[in-house]
Chains A and B, each alone.
Chain A
Amino acid sequence: MATTKVKNEQLAGYLEQYKSLENGAGGPEWLRPVREAAKQRWSALGFPTARDEDWKFTNLAPLAKRSFSRAEGGAPVTLDDLAPFVFRGQESARLVFVNGRYVPELSDSCAQPGGVLACSLKDSLELQPELVKLHLAKHLDYEGDFFAALNTAFLEDGGFVYVPDRVTVERPVHLIYASTETSSPAVTHPRNLIVVGEAAEGAVVEEYVSLGGNEYFTNAMTEIVAGAGSVLEHYRVQRESRAAFNIGTVRVQQARSSHVACHGVQLGGALVRNNVHPVLAGAGADCLINGVFLPSGSQHMDNFMLVEHASPHCGSRQFYNGVLNEKSSGVFSGRIIVHKDAQKTDAKQTNRNLLLSDDANMDSKPQLEIYADDVKCTHGATIGQLDDDEIFYLRSRGVPEQTARTLLLFGFAAENLERMRQQPIREYVESLITDWLPHGEILKKLR
């Protein structure tokens, strides 16, 4: 039982920081009570522990007992520093945040009058105040989720993307969160809001990277509001430092007949929690949750998927593949809730994992809660090694064993990559995975 004393110690730094922010003042007046309510919640909830069913496989103590200060400026970043992360000419807009702060000089925002908007959340409060007020903090559960509450209390800046009704933005909007070296370990609370109008279409890439930052804590939350008949491809590419903490949540609110794909690529971080939580609120909505996580060393990656079917005729498909090396550990929790009225639900979930070492550990847990009677729900999970028959097949053609294994490992992840429709991003992710693989250089020769 976490005593009040322990809880108070763990929260002391955050309470201090909250005070220094004039108790949630700043920004529009309506935001203040939201921040305050959120602060009440996280200070009451405290860090989740292993006794919390949703945190059973992840020990947050290393994060909870560490103190972080609010990120200051840090070292200056140039566009050249960002070169490895930027799809030059392939993005419709780029928003760059360094240690949580928006840097206009590195960004290429988009603000068409009455049209597509891709800017910092701060700027959006001036450009689209009503829209922001309508959606911000309306979907994330800061009542019950400690990290959502923490993020909301410290809500200051992040990315804002708005695609108006019936508008299509073909190239993705790219959000880059870079962490640089700071004098003491820093915490940031990026907050993104993505609003896609009726029958509109867009793509957004969130990327979390380290530019010299080592030990820090990113607590990033994204709210996505998908209008009726809209289409959105959302990507989260997580490349934090190997000593960083990354808690990330994507909360998607889907209207009738919308289609949202949430892709995830988890590579960095010492302790990572990847929450994806779509609510299929309108009839005929459809979501795809697709991703790979590739921990090695002593990295821990916890993927927590929660799909809520709240209306009839909705579909959800989850495909998560993990490759775990060395002493790393991974978690996949796939919770599907089918509410009473969600008849004709079609939900599918697949989690496949490869363990490359005897010391790697994986927990996979499907959870179905079904309150409707006419539904189709399937789930499947595998944890294992590469298939001997596949290795033999490749070797029998002359392919050396090392190459065979590398091809198969890449193929394992490639299944998920094939579902990523944005080609430049898919190719970028392919190269990241190739670099990650134990003998990935072998593949470069075969392109």
Chain B
Amino acid sequence: MLEIKNLHVSVEGKKILKGLNLSVRAGEVHSIMGPNGSGKSTLASVLAGREGYEIEQGAVLYQGRDLLEMDPEERACEGVFLAFQYPVEIPGVGSIQFLTAALNAIRTHRGLEELDALEALQLFKEKIKALQVSDDLLHRSVNEGFSGGEKKKNEIFQMAVLEPTLAILDETDSGLDIDALRVVAEGVNALRSPERGFLVITHYQRLLDYIVPDYVHVLMGGRIVRSGGKELALHLEEQGYAWAGNKDPAEAAAT
């Protein structure tokens, strides 16, 4: 479903991604781990279509199509969803209004009928209830005055409503208390299905106790330096990223 080939990306002349390769098939959960500054958020932003990133080399195919050619809203309509690391506050824009606009844009794109205001509200209430999040969030401006945890829950709630095909979570777990972490994990696990793929970007192994990945990749210096199964995350937790960065652990031990 997602094929990233030799991706080189720079921001304001600075090379961030330096030949990243990654392949996600439908039904898989991939976790990308890495230290700060390794390029994790750049990868998430490039996949979602944020401006300001220069693609120097490489390609990203999503369901066989060139993802990088698509506008952000087209990517969303095609099923790509990014749970932001830092969701923005948008005063004055009501959550219901915003989410109705998003949902109906996506439904229209998929050839489904638009929902009217009441149907949409009913859907939102069902989804938010299933996540055990207070529906108070619905009646406020988008993220305005939300706590860190509320913002992240709101991202997961939006994901539940929009039912993406490829969901990218950019450090959604950072700074979350255990209750919020469970909400995030349950939100993801509820959506896991043979048709969907997940890219879970995280700094810590903790989230992966709740969202068990099929594959774990270590991103360092703009490239994936190691890949493995879920046990790789545990190993990283014990050994630290320095270990993963060494091409040959035996060589590292010798010096």
Please give the residue numbers on chain A whose beta carbons come within 8 Å of chain B beta carbons, in ascending order. 387-390, 392-401, 403-404, 407-408, 410-415, 418, 443, 446-447
A395, B117: Cβ atoms closer than 8 Å:
no
What chain B residues lie within 8 Å of A395 (beta carbons)?
49, 71-73, 76
What chain A residues lie within 8 Å of B102 (beta carbons)?
394, 397-399
In angstroms, Cα B45 to Cα A388, docked, is 13
In angstroms, Cα B87 to Cα A396, docked, is 11
Residue among B51, B97, B162 making CB contact with A388, cutoff 8 Å: B51
B101, A411: Cβ atoms closer than 8 Å:
no
Q: Say whether chain A's binding surface is mostly helix, strand, loop, or mixed.
A: helix
What chain B residues lie within 8 Å of A387 (beta carbons)?
88
In angstroms, Cα B139 to Cα A418, docked, is 13
Interface pairs (5), CB distance under 8 Å: A394-B102, A399-B102, A404-B73, A407-B93, A411-B91
B93, A408: Cβ atoms closer than 8 Å:
yes
Shortest CB-to-CB span from A417 to chain B, Å, is: 8
What chain A residues lie within 8 Å of B184 (beta carbons)?
none
* Given A395-B73, A396-B72, A447-B117, A410 contacting B92 (CB threshold 8 A): yes
In angstroms, Cα B86 to Cα A98, docked, is 54
B98 at the interface (CB under 8 A from A): yes
Residue among B71, B117, B158 making CB contact with A397, cutoff 8 Å: B158
Measured CB to CB, the nearest residue on chain B to A401 is: B73
* Given A446-B97, A446-B101, A399 contacting B92 (CB threshold 8 A): no
What chain B residues lie within 8 Å of A443 (beta carbons)?
97
B100, A398: Cβ atoms closer than 8 Å:
no
Q: Say whether chain B's binding surface is mostly helix, strand, loop, or mixed.
A: helix
B92-107 CB mask vs A (1 if < 8 Å, else 0) is: 1100011111110110
B50, A392: Cβ atoms closer than 8 Å:
yes
A408, B71: Cβ atoms closer than 8 Å:
no
In angstroms, Cα B50 to Cα A400, docked, is 14
A407, B48: Cβ atoms closer than 8 Å:
no
B88, A390: Cβ atoms closer than 8 Å:
yes
B92, A414: Cβ atoms closer than 8 Å:
yes
A396, B93: Cβ atoms closer than 8 Å:
no
Measured CB to CB, the nearest residue on chain B to A387 is: B88
Q: A392-B72, A396-B84, A397-B73 are in contact. List 16 more A-B contacts (CB 8 A).
A: A388-B51, A392-B48, A393-B142, A394-B93, A394-B98, A394-B101, A395-B76, A396-B81, A398-B76, A398-B106, A398-B162, A399-B73, A399-B101, A399-B102, A413-B92, A418-B92
In angstroms, Cα B81 to Cα A149, docked, is 62
A390, B90: Cβ atoms closer than 8 Å:
yes
Residue among A389, A399, A412, A418 making CB contact with B105, cutoff 8 Å: A399
What range describes how many residues of B lie at the interface?
A: 20 to 34
What chain B residues lie within 8 Å of A392 (beta carbons)?
48-51, 72
Shortest CB-to-CB span from A399 to chain B, Å, is: 5
**Nearest 10 A/B pairs, CB to CB:** A411-B92, A398-B76, A414-B92, A411-B93, A397-B102, A395-B72, A398-B105, A398-B106, A415-B92, A395-B73
In angstroms, Cα B117 to Cα A446, docked, is 7
Most buried by B among A395, A401, A404, A413: A395
B98, A399: Cβ atoms closer than 8 Å:
yes
Shortest CB-to-CB span from B63 to chain A, Å, is: 16
Please give the residue numbers on chain B whose beta carbons come within 8 Å of chain A beta carbons, in ascending order. 48-51, 71-73, 75-77, 81-82, 84, 87-88, 90-93, 97-103, 105-106, 109, 117, 141-142, 158, 162
B82, A396: Cβ atoms closer than 8 Å:
yes
In angstroms, Cα B162 to Cα A412, docked, is 26
What chain B residues lie within 8 Å of A396 (beta carbons)?
48-50, 72-73, 75-76, 81-82, 84
Measured CB to CB, the nearest residue on chain A to B82 is: A396
Measured CB to CB, the nearest residue on chain A to B97 is: A446
What chain A residues lie within 8 Å of B99 (beta carbons)?
397
B117, A408: Cβ atoms closer than 8 Å:
no
What chain A residues lie within 8 Å of B77 (beta carbons)?
398
Measured CB to CB, the nearest residue on chain B to A321 is: B92
In angstroms, Cα B84 to Cα A389, docked, is 11
Measured CB to CB, the nearest residue on chain A to B106 is: A398
What chain B residues lie within 8 Å of A415 (beta carbons)?
91-92
What chain A residues lie within 8 Å of B76 (beta carbons)?
395-399
Most buried by A among B73, B99, B109: B73
In angstroms, Cα B144 to Cα A113, docked, is 49
What chain A residues lie within 8 Å of B101 (beta carbons)?
394, 399, 403, 407, 446
What chain B residues lie within 8 Å of A408 (beta carbons)?
90, 92-93
Shortest CB-to-CB span from A431 to chain B, Å, is: 15
Most buried by A among B82, B88, B92, B117: B92
In angstroms, Cα B96 to Cα A407, docked, is 12
Measured CB to CB, the nearest residue on chain A to B117 is: A447
* Given A403-B105, A446-B101, A397 contacting B162 (CB threshold 8 A): yes
In angstroms, Cα B49 to Cα A401, docked, is 13
What chain A residues lie within 8 Å of B91 (beta carbons)?
411, 415
